[in-house]
Amino acid sequence: MALNHEETDRVPIDLGSSRSTGINAIAYNKLKKYLGVDSKTVLFDVKQLLAEMDFEVAKKIGSDVVILPRLVPSVGIRIDELTEGELPENGGSCLQSKFYHPKPLDNGGMGIYDKYGHLIAVRPKGGIFYDEVYHPLENAETEEDVDRGLSIADEDGDSQYLGLPQISDYEMRYLHDKAKYIYENTDFAISGFTSFSLFERGFKDFGYENYLMLFYEDPDLAEYYLDKMTDAYITYMERYLDAVGDYIQIVQNNDDLGSQKAMLISPEIYREFIKPRHAKINAAIKKKCPDMHISLHCDGSIYPIIGDIIESGFDILNPIQRDCDNMDPVQIKKEFGDRLTIWGSACSTQSTMTHGSIEDIVNEAKEMIRIFAPGGGFVFSQIHNILADIPPEKIVALFDTAKKYGVPEWFNAQ
């Protein structure tokens, strides 16, 4: 109901239904202990060190939605077979992929290599996150170079990091079985993480500076690359929805288009290169599953294109990153709130949850409920992932605020 812009008896709550509303596995171990939950932490996202939410923890927090991760959620690491592991920085034990075998680097960090021998991700010494360092198209100058760099294709499920977007028959069965189990055995809504990342994927393929310059120095090659990715995403999404479309309610796209101060590309470049292709992919999703809600995770200062995001077929925007310039929640709710579901934005992990008191967290969350909840179209969650050093008391206080104040009797009286 909330996604259809109708008020519910309580605002929906999310912790962990995406790779941008998640919780660091170190913080998650502390949270489970605080809540009295004795279960193994499953590390599903190696790059960001994110935990997969246990159903018992989700219920205690009050979360209404859970994630359906890909078989290969990040940096080429499959998660269908797990083994005992230890989190960095003495963060406790976990279950992690048996395919996760980082190797020590000369500088004291750790590196992840793909099966072709490429060093694809590096965790600095003393760090807990991996940075992607391999860019197969960084020297691409022609269409043939792009074709060659994207030509890797496998049927064993290991090829999700390189090459065109694809989904193997094995992954389709894996996702179908997991989605079906959640759908039939829990009351949670299911949000499907799809790896659909049209614009942002170019940073991984070309490298950050090379990709941004491509739109200005060789727009024809940019068009060629984006067309190939768009066609591949449509084929991939059709197969993905064949597997899970009967069970999930939301599909996720992750495409960061903004920075702290402004957009990464101009609104004009977005409208010429990205918007029509987003629209084409979203139309294919709606044709396959007309009732599916399509979510865009997009960090940063992106106010100039929020209307375009809606026009291109997205139903949900996560988050409204209020720490960034020109992202006023009152203005955005007033201008777009009847056409766009705001997902997240309840409290800043960048500032308040890290540096503020519990009282600061509660007050900020109450204010966001007051702004976003009236009329529906709001899902309560923090702005981006909960970091490793955020204590469980703050996490519980945040979501208790949603349960206490996220009711029409309170927010409609403000």
Task: Indicate the pLDDT class of residue 116, thresholds 50, 70 and 90.
Answer: confident
State the average pLDDT for the chain. 95
Tell me the C-alpha distance between 89 and 238, whole Å.
41
> Which is more confidently placed, 89 or 247?
247
- pLDDT reported for residue 154: 54
- pLDDT reported for residue 160: 55
**pLDDT tens digits, residue range 338-382?**
999 999 999 999 899 999 999 999 999 999 999 999 999 999 999
55 residue type, one letter: F
Tell me the C-alpha distance between 114 and 76, whole Å.
7
Residue at token pair 């960095």 = 88
Which region among 75-79, 205-209, 229-233, 313-317 has the lowest average model confidence (pLDDT)? 75-79
**pLDDT tens digits, residue range 140-186?**
999 999 999 998 755 555 545 678 998 989 999 999 999 999 999 99
DSSP state of 3: G
Closest CA to 147 of 163, 168, 166: 163
Residue extents of the structural domains in the chain: 2-21+62-68+135-411
Closest CA to 392 of 61, 51, 142: 61
- pLDDT reported for residue 315: 98
Count CA atoms within 13 Å of residue 43 on its CB side. 29
List, in sequence order, every residue forming a beta bridge with 51; answer none if it has no partner: 43
- CATH number 3.40.50.720 given to 2-21+62-68+135-411: no
- pLDDT reported for residue 195: 84
Task: Indicate the pLDDT class of residue 273, thresholds 50, 70 and 90.
Answer: very high
Tell me the C-alpha distance between 72 and 74, whole Å.
6
- pLDDT reported for residue 158: 53
* CA R_g for the chain: 21
Pairing verdict, β 189-196 and 65-68: parallel
**pLDDT tens digits, residue range 87-114?**
999 999 999 999 999 999 999 999 999 8
